[in-house]
Structure 1
C-alpha cells in the first residue's frame, strides 16, 4: 500500500468538517487497500509554518487503520486542547504527518544508565507511566530534543512529573513508527 493514501484520508477527514457536502467513500478505500481494515494505532501531526499545530493519536490499536486515521485527523485539527480549532485558512496551509505505531512493549531496565542504553534515539517512541500520570513522545520528537536528558526530561514534564521520578523506575514502553508526511 502506498502510505500517501493515509495523507489523503486525513486531509479529506478534516476538509469534510468545512465542506459538509463532500462525502468520503470509505468502501472505495477499503476495497482498494485491504490493509486499511487492519487494527492499527496512529498519530496525526499537523504543522503550520514548521510549528506544531495539533497532534492526537492512539497508543493502542482499537480501530481499523482507516478509522484511526480519519478520527485522529479530526481530533488533531479540532480537539487538541493546546490549540484553538483549525480554521479554513489554516487548513490550506497545514502539513499533515501520519505515524503508524508498532505495539508498545514494556522495557525492563535497572536504573537510569541502563534506560539510557536501551532507548535508541530517532528510532524509539517512549511512553512513560507512573501511577496516574502518563505521557508519550513519538520517535520524531528526537529531532527537537536530541539528547536522552532533554527528551526524557521533557517527557517527564509532559506527564506532570519531575525527572527524579526515574529513580523510582516508572513503567517505560517503547514503540516505533512508520511515518508519511506531506
Structure 2
C-alpha cells in the first residue's frame, strides 16, 4: 500500500501536466516527495460528464513515478480512441490515477486453470502474447463480472481470436491504489 500522501500528489501532477500540454499553465513540478522519485507504473483515466475520454498507462516500472504519471496524463488527453481533450472539456474533466502494485505471474496449464485463479473485483490482469502485452484494470470487473468475460476482453484487446486457447500465453495479476479528483482519497 503506497504512502497516503502520494495520491493527491499524483493527481496534482496529472492535472498540471494536462494543463501545461493545453497551454493553460506552467510545467508540472514534482514537490520532492521521496515516493515520486521511485520507479512506478500508473494509469491515468479521464472522464468528462461520466464518459470515458482517455485512459493510458504503463504496465512496467521503467521511470520515476512522477515522470510516469506526467507522461500518461499527457497521453491520456490524446488517446486516439477519443476526441482530443481541449480546454473546455478539460475544465469539466475528472482525473483518476491508478498506481499499479508489482505484478505476480500466474502459473497455469490451460485456460480453465487461468480462469480458476482470477479473483473478480480484485485483480488487474496482464496478458502476454509474444512481445505484446495488454491489461485491464481491476475496476473493469464492474463491466465484465465473470472471469470468462474478463479473459475474453483481454484476448480481444490483444487481437487474439477468442477461440484460441491461452496455452503458450503468460498472465500476471496486480492490485491498484486509485485516486480521483473528486475527493483525492484512495478509491480502492
TM-score by length of 1: 0.89
Deviations 1:135-172 (A, max 9, x none): 21111111111111211111111111122223524111
What is the CA-CA distance between 1:43 and the residue it aligns to? Answer: 0.7
Mind listing any 5+ residue stretches in structure 2 that lack a counterpart? 182-188
Name the residue aligned to 1:165. 164
Match status 1:60 vs 2:57 = no
Contact 1:46 1:77 in 2 (8 A): yes
TM-score by length of 2: 0.87
- Following the alignment from structure 1 to structure 2, what is the Cα–Cα distance between the partners of residues 114 and 24? 45
What is the CA-CA distance between 1:84 and the residue it aligns to? Answer: 2.7
**Structure with more of its chain in helix, by fraction:** 1
Name the residue aligned to 2:184. none
| Runs of 4 or more consecutive aligned structure 1 residues displaced over 4 Å after TM superposition | none
Mind listing any 5+ residue stretches in structure 1 that lack a counterpart? none
- Following the alignment from structure 1 to structure 2, what is the Cα–Cα distance between the partners of residues 43 and 155? 17
Contact 1:133 1:160 in 2 (8 A): no
Match status 1:16 vs 2:23 = no
Name the residue aligned to 2:96. 97
Residues 1:54 and 1:141: Cα distance change in structure 2 (over 3 Å): same
Residues 1:41 and 1:21: Cα distance change in structure 2 (over 3 Å): closer
Residues 1:87 and 1:114: Cα distance change in structure 2 (over 3 Å): same
SS at match of 1:166: coil
What is the CA-CA distance between 1:67 and the residue it aligns to? Answer: 0.9
Q: How many residues align?
A: 177
Residues 1:88 and 1:171: Cα distance change in structure 2 (over 3 Å): same
Residues 1:23 and 1:169: Cα distance change in structure 2 (over 3 Å): closer
- Following the alignment from structure 2 to structure 1, what is the Cα–Cα distance between the partners of residues 25 and 131? 42
SS at match of 2:53: strand
Contact 1:40 1:100 in 2 (8 A): yes
- Following the alignment from structure 1 to structure 2, what is the Cα–Cα distance between the partners of residues 21 and 95? 18
Structure 2 counterparts to residues 97-136 of structure 1, below 5 A: 97-136=96-135
What is the CA-CA distance between 1:14 and the residue it aligns to? Answer: 0.2
